[in-house]
Amino acid sequence: MPGEVPTAPDFAESRPQIANREELTIVISRDEVELDFRKSYLASEAQLFTALYEGLFSYHPYTMEPVPAAASAWEVSEDKKEWTFTIRETARFWNGDPLRAEDFRAAWISLLDPKRQSPYSSLFDIIEGARDYRLGNISDPAEVGISAPEPRKLVVKLNSPASFFPSMLCHHSFSPIHSAMLENEDWSRFPPVSNGPFYILENTEDSIVLTRNELYWDVGRVALKKIVVKYSEDADEASAFWNSGEARWIAGDVNMETLTDRSGIVVNPMFATHYYFIRSSLKPWSDPRVRRALAIALPWEQVRQGHFLPAKTLIYPISGYPEVEGLDTTDIDEAKRLLSEAGYPDGMGLPQLVIRLTPSPEAARIGGLMASTWKDELGIQVKVEVVPYRRYFETLKEDNYQVGFSTWIGDFPDPYTFLQMWRRDSNLNDARYDDADYEDLMEKSMSEDGTARLETLAAAEKLLLSRGAVLPISFSPAVNVVDTDELEGWFPNALDIHPVKYFSFKAFRPLPGVTMLTH
């Protein structure tokens, strides 16, 4: 849990000066980084992709608002459903090949291939025909509302107006793919031919070395010539990278207690939620009465105890989004009544419930509290199962457990990024949630815009909570260790995404009383 941030140490404890102000070393946790954005889903990958790939729009480093990237201009039809983008004439892949509209069209169609089961394919559902194509209901790509009538013209037809479309297009899933990479299913063997401000120079088990793309259309803004992304085995190793001065940004787990210079600790609110979910694929857990009983039996104050930003809703409050009735009531009598109504008086007839966790103390605390509550109060037999972190998220696709947890970071500042993954055909639906009423609300929101759309999405979130699909724990803060005294262009933001093209080191300034030698 984030605690009190210690004060900065004395200068004597500070780290070495920066030797090369055109080179940055970043440390991330050792995960299996997937370079093919059609397959990726980790936050660390999304950060790396700000260097490698660039879509029609990209994130502003401070506000996270969309800014023009590969698109130099765009037009929207009178009915606001057809968007025509003009690709920058100077846009290039790092090998010198021009960026074409077809590189976008082909990449998006490839990501939507139903055989691929791309994690983020459901983001494309607002595009005409995209959902039917990814589900295999249609097989002709020409029926999807994505076309490239000219080398530098990309036309996208939406099912309904979507003023938030540019924000969605910042996500790395909407990047282009060079034709040479399109059929390549293993991007780890060869550096991907990408169009971002950097490209991969070296890829080893311990690090990825990036070098500046001198053919990038906005290369004049890119100050760094080299970025080294190192993997840390654990929080202590990450701290060692920081203490030695080798790394100026730790974006993964770090041991705060062993940092010799704590002035770089940055904690800020993030558009992210840590939650547990009840998997709904099999009976009796598919019954909303059973799930609701489990939810309202929990002692919520104890469950969320010690969390920096306790959450009773799934979605962090954002401007314009209606307040949603959260999940914070404990009512054992009502829980027992619901179980009895569902045919399980005093828990009789319910099978053993399996809670799947990672080996962390906080997961053990919450999982243990859930297990004891459901057993003691509702008569349910509960088993707590611990899975190593590296395997945990892949096991969430299995049907041999009932309760798991996740932390979801919004991909763009809109409720849809949290709610779309609970749809029955979403590849991100680990809970296997399937609710006709929820589907109706989400479908309704797809044909709305503005306030009406947000109200419908709020109703969908309320349904998720009231039917026990999701058990919110906390809004997750972003925690980074970064040398903002030296590194410019890095800003705390709600998505915890930091576009590296804006990074630069401040000009060297000698300390007071120190004379610089000149030759």
pLDDT for 55 equals 98
pLDDT for 393 equals 87
154-158, 261-265, 381-385: which has the minimum mean pLDDT?
261-265
Nearest residue to 27 (alpha-carbon basis) of 195, 308, 255: 255
Percentage of the chain exceeding pLDDT 70? 94
pLDDT tens track for 113-156: 999 999 999 999 999 999 999 999 999 999 999 999 999 999 99
3-state SS assignment for residue 271: coil
Q: What is the CA radius of gyration of the chain?
A: 24
| Cα 76 to Cα 68: distance, rounded to the nearest angstrom | 15
pLDDT for 1 equals 29
Say how far residue 443 (Cα) sits from the centre of its chain.
Answer: 23
DSSP structure class, residue 469: S
Count of CB atoms situated within 10 Å of the CB of 391: 9
25-34, 129-138, 149-158, 490-499: which has the minimum mean pLDDT?
25-34
Q: Which CATH architecture has domain 21-265+480-505?
A: 3-Layer(aba) Sandwich (3.40)
The pLDDT-based confidence of 56 (bands split at 50, 70, 90) is very high
State the burial class of residue 105 (Cβ atoms within 10 Å of its Cβ: 0-12, 13-18, 19+): buried
Residue 62 has pLDDT above 90, yes or no: yes
Count of CB atoms situated within 10 Å of the CB of 246: 15
Residues in the chain: 519
The pLDDT-based confidence of 438 (bands split at 50, 70, 90) is very high
Residue of 29 and 93 predicted with greater confidence: 93
| Cα 2 to Cα 230: distance, rounded to the nearest angstrom | 24
| Cα 411 to Cα 426: distance, rounded to the nearest angstrom | 15
| CATH fold of 272-475 | Dipeptide-binding Protein; domain 3 (3.10.105)
Residue of 164 and 403 predicted with greater confidence: 403
Percentage of the chain exceeding pLDDT 90? 79
Structure tokens of 293?
């009983």
pLDDT for 16 equals 61
Residue 29 has pLDDT above 90, yes or no: no
pLDDT tens track for 81-115: 999 999 999 999 999 999 999 999 999 999 999 99
Bond into 284 cis (ω within 30):
yes
pLDDT tens track for 201-239: 999 989 999 999 999 999 999 999 999 999 988 889 999
| Cα 220 to Cα 35: distance, rounded to the nearest angstrom | 26
- In b/e form, how buried is each residue of 42-73, taking b as 16+ CB within 10 angstroms? bbbbbbbbbbbbbbbbbbebeebebeebbbbe
Backbone angles phi, psi at 446, to 5 degrees: -70, -20
Q: Where are the domains of the chain?
A: 21-265+480-505, 272-475
